[in-house]
Amino acid sequence: MFSNWLRPGLMLAIVACSTASALAQKKVDEETAANLPVKRVVMFSSGVGYFERTGKVDGDAELNLKFNVRDINDLLKSMVLQDLGGGRISTISYESKKPIEKTLQTFAIDLTSNPTLADLLEQVRGEKIEVDAPTKVTGTIVGVEFRDVPVGKDETIRAPFLNLLTDDGLLSVALDNVGRLKLLNPKLDSELRQALAVLASNKSVDKKSVSLSFLGQGKRDVKVGYIQESPIWKTSYRLVLAEEAPPLLQGWAIVENTTEEDWDGVQLSLVSGRPISFLMDLYQPLFVNRPVVEPELYASLRPQTYNQDLAQAEQEFRKAGADFNGREPQLAQRRGANGAAILEKAAAAAPGAPPPPAADASYLRAEMADRAAFAPGQSVQSVAQAADVGEMFQYTIATPVKLGRQQSAMLPIVNDSVEGEKVSIYNPAVHAKHPLNGLRLKNTTDLHLMQGPITVFDDGVYAGDARIQDLPPKSERLISYAMDLDTEVAARSEGKPTQMVGVKLVKGTLYTTRRFNREQTYVIKNSGKNAKKVLVEYPIDTTWTLIEPKEPSEKTRDLYRFAVDAKPGEPANLKIAESRTAEEQVAVTNLDSNTIAFYIQAKEVSQPIKDALQEVVKRKAALNVATQKLNELNRQIQVIFQEQARVRQNMTEVPKDSELFRRYLTKFGEQETEVETLRGQVDKLIAEQAAAQKALDDYLMNLNLT
């Protein structure tokens, strides 16, 4: 109710002031626009534009420009002023953007937290007001209290009541019954209206004024340049194909004037490049929270805490260890029961550091585009190599441009004949059966063609759409715009046997080099009326070497291209053969007899290696004989051990004075003698086996046959 009563008068004042100010400012802005119009615009493909204003000033002059709030940061970062007649640049002033909370806190009535009527009245306690409740009452505000008011039968609500001191004594008025409320203090009433005006202006989308001051004498030329956010400019092309004439390329640049000012006679340049551009909040005032320091005179002493003496702490530690013996279970129980409380007390006793002050609204917003440069140098090469963005180039529109505010235009940038050759481009990853109609386009103009769409017309009719990357002068690119339904391609893969191409034997290791082969064949059928050149694209695998054809027609970073002439009604064939080599290695001692025999019979193996392998076979055979004999002796010993176990078992079951027991005893002694003889033979064979193994190893380690 309080705010409803204030709004009509307040809004009339705001509207009147705003209207008068807007009319006056509009007149100033129109004069500035006429005296300092935009005469040059450079648009970049990175989302910014350079705007240059030129005009004349006389003596000491001040010019006002209007900008959207979102552009102020770019202005503060980039604006350049030049006085070309010997004058001086004085000051660039602009409307500050103080945080609304800071501003509202400066008024006697604080509207920062969207206060209720009761909150507002609490802020102006002690002030005189006039209230219609419903009769007119004048009094001084004592305060606002809340009471439980019955609603219905058994319910109550909390309702605010305004307590006033009137000439007749204290009076309590329910705020729900107040129809009108007026502050009788003119200064306080004015403060409230100003605070409301600040709130209203903060929601306004009006532009901000920037004032430029020039100091000097006489009439002279001045220039103002700045960077401002702008939409990127775009290109689109039309390519007209005809049988008896070279292709005609027509290119258009699409630009938008999103400013609030008409362009009349503007020199327009279009630059393809990506300079580093970012936003930094320079417009927002920054406030730093400062610590509150009490004067030493009034600072009272505070209770202090002191760290324990280390020697005493060590004594207590040792005493605790001595007392611990025999009481671990009880101590553990106490620790479990009281641990949380002890930790809480310790945390409360420790003086905590105050939290760091939070910085006011201040942030840096960086929107980094791909790097490029205006002048040649190492940085340009580095960026181009890293991001493959190509060179920067510029179109300068010869005729001054006239373009109204918030309007777009298409401007011709190229209209010339170029060189082109019709081709069909086949890539099974694009379409397994049909190639695409394409054109090998050569930029014979002097302009750098920026990437964009190309609409292709063939023999006067629409043929399809294509895309092209940046195309410098004298360079070529392939474009494709439709499917070639008159041409079919059949592809077939074929594997080839593996070939052994080299063998060497070095220090007991056999190295084998093998060649792997594969073939891809294409059969191309042209059902059209004219002969065609078909470009077959084939992926590059760096582990394979191209054998046939010896060289591709073209080679990109990832693809080979092979050109095939396809005549109508005659199948055209293309065979692509590749090979790769791989080396395997294996220890000769791990080879079995059949594998060694394969290498001895292979024609790719040299005679010295064959002789060495045959010697290895002999030595391994001798080693195997010794091993077999050793295994046989061990088997015989194992049989005797088993027989002795049987005899020993039988001896426990017969009387020791019986004839059978004596026979068992005699046989057991004979077996022991035989075991001793066999073990002697085993030891001899082990020595022979070790010697044979060493001889084989030494022989292999001394081999170096390549």
**pLDDT digit string (tens) for 23-66?**
444 444 455 456 789 999 998 888 889 999 999 999 999 888 88
**Two tokens, residue 277:** 């551009």
Q: Is 228 in contact with 71 (CB distance < 8 Å)? A: yes
- How many CA atoms lie less than 13 Å away from 591 in the CB half-sphere? 22
Query: 3-state secondary structure string, 217-276?
Result: CCEEEEEEEEEEECCCCEEEEEEEECCCCCCEEEEEEEEEECCCCCEEEEEEEEEECCCC
Instruction: Please report where in the chains the tokens 């360079």 appear, as a residue.
Output: 475
Token pair for residue 369? 């585009």
In this predicted structure, the answer to whether residue 329 has a pLDDT above a threshold of 60 is no
Candidates 652, 676, 675; CA nearest to 664 is: 652
Residue 1's pLDDT is 34
- Kindly indicate the confidence band of residue 696, based on its pLDDT and cuts at 50, 70 and 90: confident
Question: Mean pLDDT across the stretch 65-90?
Answer: 86
* Residue among 257, 277, 293 at smallest CA distance from 367: 277
Q: Given this model, what pLDDT does residue 320 score?
A: 57
- DSSP assignments along 596-607, one per residue: HHHHHH-TTS-H
Question: What's the pLDDT score for residue 274?
Answer: 67
Q: Quick one: pLDDT at residue 457? A: 94
For the chain, what percent of residues have pLDDT higher than 70?
A: 77
* pLDDT tens per residue, range 86-134: 888 888 887 766 666 666 777 778 887 788 888 888 888 988 999 888 8
Grouping H, G, I as helix, E, B as strand and the rest as coil, residue 308 is: coil
**Mean pLDDT to the nearest integer, 255-275:** 86
* Tens digit of each residue's pLDDT (9 = 90 or more) over 401-416: 999 999 999 988 888 9
- Domains of the chain, start order: 100-202 (2.30.30), 489-588 (no CATH), 594-705 (1.10.287)
Residue 536: what pLDDT? 95
Q: Mean pLDDT, to the nearest integer, of 342-348?
A: 37
315 confidence band (pLDDT: 50, 70, 90):
low
Q: Could you read off the pLDDT of 601-612 as tens digits, one per residue? A: 888 889 998 888
CA 258 to chain centre: 30
Q: Residue 532 CB: number of other CB atoms within 10 A?
A: 21
pLDDT average, residue stretch 642-654: 86
Average pLDDT over all residues of the chain: 79
Contact 537, 431 (CB under 8 A): no
At 317, the pLDDT band (50, 70, 90 cuts) reads: low
Alpha-carbon gap, residue 33 to 121, rounded angstroms? 49
